[in-house]
Amino acid sequence: MDKRMVQFIRALRAAGVRISLAESIDAMRGVELLGANNRDLFRAAMKTTLVKESKDQNTYEHYFPLFFGSGQPPMQNIPDNLTPEQQQTLKQALQSLMGDLGALKDLLRQLLQGKPFNDDQLQNAAQQSGLNNADDMKMRQWMERRMQRQLNMQQIQELIDQLMKALEEMGMEGEAREQIRQMLQENAQGLSDQVSQYTGASLAEQMADREPDPKPDLLDVPFTQLSDEDVEHIRDEIRRLAARLRSRASLRQRRSHSGTLDPRKMMRANLRYDSVPLELRFRTRHVKPCLVLICDISTSMRYCAEFLLTLIYELQDQVAKTNSFVFISDIVDISMVFNECEPARAVERVLSENRPGYYNTDLGSSLATFRKEHMGLITGKTTVIILGDGRNNHNDPRTDIAQELMRKSRRLIWFNPEHPAQWGTGDSDMLQYAPLSNGVYRVSNLRELAAAVDKILTDG
């Protein structure tokens, strides 16, 4: 039993359930105290010690019967439920069919006698179907079909229909035939359940025998490939990521006090030494950037925009001032939302109030609205960051406004998740926007996004 429990725990880990060594030991001790005779109690003890998160409960319930199920389907010997006369008619019908069925006669006899597949049958079918080489639960249904094909189970319904026809020709009454059909169907379902249980258990055991694949660092997973679970983990981690960026920015400022000589201050301070530089003076001035964010929150850009906004507003002590805007078909000022709420809550509110819909992305129109209503925010100290893929759905890109933004601001920076090879394809206007900016950062994952934000903070 201990070996089976270890295999079960290893399979859960391979399926993505986080289980520590201490929790595994707790499970062993719990079963040792409660025993394994009561299946429900055993199941509850294992679940209590191994499952910590609600999202893992379905995984646990899926794998438990694969390791601790009986494996034997409930089946019945059909002739035992018939009268002697019905048994004789059934025997004659079988004899009339046997000459036509060939290799299928063994399966029909097994179906009538209610005998499950034995180990040799299942192992031979597994070898022929390639089940022994599979170790991924996603392959279960496909391997079940291959197993059923090797065991000739796809012909079961045809066998039952032929037998019913033979019994009718021999004069068996309809009620008796229907009773036999129902028992045959139940036995067929039992065999199917046995194959399913065997396939699932084999895959689970083979999963347990291999080392779990190392999970990629979420910082390196492209935004387009993030699962809902990954996004939740990133939301939990982003505050810690912001703290690391803040520490790095503070460390750079401290180093700058002794890293850059200031010739003017040094010469003035050393006049009393006849201008011999005995006392050095360094620049200590650090200018925090003034930011204007213009973020695309269409469907393909929402995660990227969410994480950028969260990072920037978690780092407000490193920024002089931030004004933020989002757009799909037109621009919306969201700065007040961040003044009223914490960053995570503010981002959630912004995305819920500005959902993607039937309207298409139109950066050109959004820039026109920005120039009309918000251009006064742009000064020679402002860093403008446009987050988007440069796709305008074939609308006017308004490159004239982009050029005006670059001219009036300290710098205009693009954050774009697309690879440069995709620029200019389809409805992309990025090849027109890129020359009208002071730089383009690729931000396809969280690591690239954090590096881009860090770079902006470095050069305040």
Q: Which amino acid is at 385?
A: I
Q: 82-94 burial by CB neighbour count: b if 16+ within 10 A, else e?
A: beeebeebbeebb
Confidence band for 199, pLDDT divided at 50, 70 and 90 = confident
Per-residue pLDDT, 144: 83
Nearest to 450 by CA among 269, 154, 247: 247
**Portion of the chain with pLDDT greater than 70, in percent:** 89
Confidence band for 257, pLDDT divided at 50, 70 and 90 = very low
Most confident among 93-102, 130-139, 335-344 (mean pLDDT): 335-344
Per-residue pLDDT, 98: 63
Confidence check: pLDDT of 371 > 90: yes
Confidence band for 288, pLDDT divided at 50, 70 and 90 = confident
Number of helical (H) and strand (E) elements in the chain, helices listed first? 19, 6
Q: Please enumerate in sequence order all residues whose Cβ is within 8 A of that of 250, keeping only pairs 6 or more positions apart, or say none.
A: none
Confidence check: pLDDT of 460 > 60: no
Most confident among 68-77, 183-192, 422-431 (mean pLDDT): 422-431
Per-residue pLDDT, 214: 64
Residue ranges per structural domain of the chain: 2-68, 78-198, 228-260+286-458
Confidence check: pLDDT of 91 > 80: no
Class for the domain spanning 228-260+286-458:
alpha beta
Nearest to 189 by CA among 148, 246, 219: 148
Per-residue pLDDT, 384: 94
Per-residue pLDDT, 382: 92
Per-residue pLDDT, 224: 84
Q: CA-to-CA distance for 441 and 77, rounded, in angstroms?
A: 72
Confidence check: pLDDT of 67 > 50: yes
- Cβ proximity of 103 and 214 under 8 Å: no
Per-residue pLDDT, 73: 64
Q: Please enumerate in sequence order all residues whose Cβ is within 8 A of that of 378, keeping only pairs 6 or more positions apart, or say none.
A: 292, 384, 405, 408, 409
Per-residue pLDDT, 252: 60
Nearest to 121 by CA among 94, 157, 148, 160: 148
Per-residue pLDDT, 103: 54
Q: Does the reported pTM lie above 0.85?
A: no
